[in-house]
Amino acid sequence: MSPSTGTTGGGTAVTISGTNLGGATGVSFGGAGGTITADSGTQITVTSPSGTGTVNITVATPGGTAAAGKFTYMTPAPGVSGLAPSSGTTAGGTAVTISGTNLGGATGVSFGGAAGKVTADSSTQITVTSPPGTGTVNITVTTPGGTATAGKFTYVTPPPVTTAVSPSSGTTAGGTAVTISGTNLGDATGVSFGGAAGTITADSGTQITVTSPPGTGTVNITVTTPGGTSTAGQFIYVTPAPAVTAISPSSGTIDGGTTVTITGTNLAGATSVSFGGPAGRIISDSGTQITVVSPPGKGTVYITVTTAAGTSAATAACEYTYAAPVIQ
């Protein structure tokens, strides 16, 4: 008898040799009938039925029944004909479909040694979820019948996705701490504010903290990672309001005419300097200093500076006291 083994699914052509085999009425594989395709006095060709384990083959003819030997059913090795998709993200989670034959009862699908999660399988198809990984790896399928290589799977870094920017505005001088939220943001290589690079101070897969560069107007924020570039949203540059930190001198005559130096930030382009209401005469100004001549007044007042961005706050640092002139 040859061969003495075949697949559990049946279909193996078995040749039985001997004498007085002509007119065979049946060939039994452990009780299941095979399909006789040819016979003669010395040879029978029969197709095995499906089965499991090791069984006895018996031949029946008009002259009686004879044992032909033992036949062992073996689980066929898997065969793979298709793999889709052949790539997925480094984070894993890609649903991969493997097509082929003898795939039922899959015991494992390996992505370069890392186990995928089999979610469904049949004799012709396996659905598996990819594990995290990097590079290009071999996918192998293991069933009770053996292991087969399904093909290659390439891990790709997913592009960044942004969902929020906070705050969405900051000063023209830069220096605003901006938080960008989303997914796939890890290892960010750059954050652009309308083409000007921000300074990344922290990043993770879901969040980037970046310090805005100087700029003007409304610009697009874009995030670049190894996976690509994404537009995060728009950022509006606003001119910061002036702030006064010191005045010198802090007093002058009620008649006015005292030259006062005002120190602070964002003082450039001052449109007026108020001494408790009356305006002083501006002699010069810069971003950090204004020279102004006091108007007439009395008592203690607050000096405030107004620019296109607003008016400075009235604080103890900007108190100015009018005093009667000394008569000599």
Q: Give the CATH number for residue 310.
A: 2.60.40.10
Query: Distance (Å, rounded) from C-alpha 19 to C-alpha 2?
Result: 16
Query: Distance (Å, rounded) from C-alpha 121 to C-alpha 168?
Result: 49
Query: Distance (Å, rounded) from C-alpha 268 to C-alpha 286?
Result: 4
Same domain (yes/no): 310, 278:
yes
User: What pLDDT is attached to residue 7?
Assistant: 87
The residue written with tokens 């689980």 in the block is: 75
Say how many domains are in the chain: 4
Residue that terminates a domain, selected from 50, 74, 98:
74
CA angle 269/275/281 to nearest 5° reads 50
User: What pLDDT is attached to residue 144?
Assistant: 87
Same domain (yes/no): 87, 109:
yes
Same domain (yes/no): 205, 166:
yes
User: What pLDDT is attached to residue 326?
Assistant: 67
Same domain (yes/no): 166, 232:
yes
| 292: amino acid identity, one letter | V
- Does 171 reside within a domain? yes
User: What pLDDT is attached to residue 306?
Assistant: 96
- Does 328 reside within a domain? no
Same domain (yes/no): 58, 114:
no
Residue that terminates a domain, selected from 219, 238, 257:
238
Does the N-terminal peptide bond of residue 226 adopt cis geometry, omega within 30 degrees of 0?
A: no
Radius of gyration of the chain (CA): 44
User: What pLDDT is attached to residue 328?
Assistant: 64
Reading the block at residue 182, the tokens are: 């989303």
- Does 149 reside within a domain? yes
User: What pLDDT is attached to residue 325?
Assistant: 77
Query: Distance (Å, rounded) from C-alpha 248 to C-alpha 307?
Result: 20
Same domain (yes/no): 128, 193:
no
pLDDT beneath 70, residues of the chain: 326-328
In which domain, by residue range, is 215 found?
Answer: 161-238
User: What pLDDT is attached to residue 75?
Assistant: 87
Same domain (yes/no): 265, 292:
yes
Total Cβ atoms within 10 A of residue 165: 20
Residue that terminates a domain, selected from 210, 238, 266:
238
